[in-house]
């Protein structure tokens, strides 16, 4: 299903753009109402739009993350792994981390259902 994968990748691109722009409403529009989102900065998961909104609002009062997708890797199980370049600064713009990580998304009915932070894989050959 190349068309569905292309649509899913475009959805993820929109989510990253909205996150980096701090446009919570646009980011949440890419997600299922009962989305499960990792609280990578604090631990655990945020469940649903309000918890994700609250988590991001709190996070952005403490750090300034920027997450840029580098490549997209659909898998046979229907998930999409995204290799990202993550730069995190404190509020005075001092660099805290500059690293690469993987995010794995489950997309159902055209919306992000879950996101997980995964160990980095080195097969960035396509997408």
pLDDT of residue 62: 94
Q: SS3 of 50, please?
A: helix
Number of domains in the chain: 1
What are residue 103's DSSP bridge partners? 82, 117
CB atoms < 10 A from the CB of 103, how many? Answer: 21
Residues 38-64: tens digit of each pLDDT: 998 788 999 999 999 999 999 999 999
In a domain, 123, yes or no: no
- Residue at token pair 């009915």: 109
Whether 88 maps to a domain, the answer reads yes
The CATH code of the domain that includes 67 is 3.10.450.50
**Site of tokens 């159902």:** 108
Whether 52 is covered by a domain: the verdict is: yes
Task: Dig out the tokens for 126 from the structure.
Answer: 């396509």
Closest CA to 16 of 30, 4, 36: 30
The pTM score is 0.90
Enclosing domain of residue 34: 2-118
Is residue 46 included in any domain, yes or no? yes
Query: What are the pLDDT digits (tens) for 65-89?
Result: 999 999 999 988 889 999 999 999 9
């Amino acid at each position: 299903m190349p068309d569905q994968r292309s649509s899913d990748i475009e959805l993820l691109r929109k989510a990253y753009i909205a996150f980096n722009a701090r446009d919570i409403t646009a980011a949440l529009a890419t997600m299922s109402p009962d989305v499960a989102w990792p609280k990578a900065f604090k631990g655990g998961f945020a469940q649903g739009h309000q918890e994700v909104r609250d988590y991001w609002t709190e996070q952005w009062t403490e750090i300034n993350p920027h997450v840029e997708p580098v490549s997209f890797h659909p898998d046979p199980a229907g998930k999409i792994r995204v290799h990202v370049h993550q730069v995190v600064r404190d509020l005075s713009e001092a660099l805290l981390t500059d690293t690469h990580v993987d995010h794995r998304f489950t997309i159902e009915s055209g919306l992000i259902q879950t996101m997980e932070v995964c160990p980095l894989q080195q097969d960035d050959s396509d997408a």
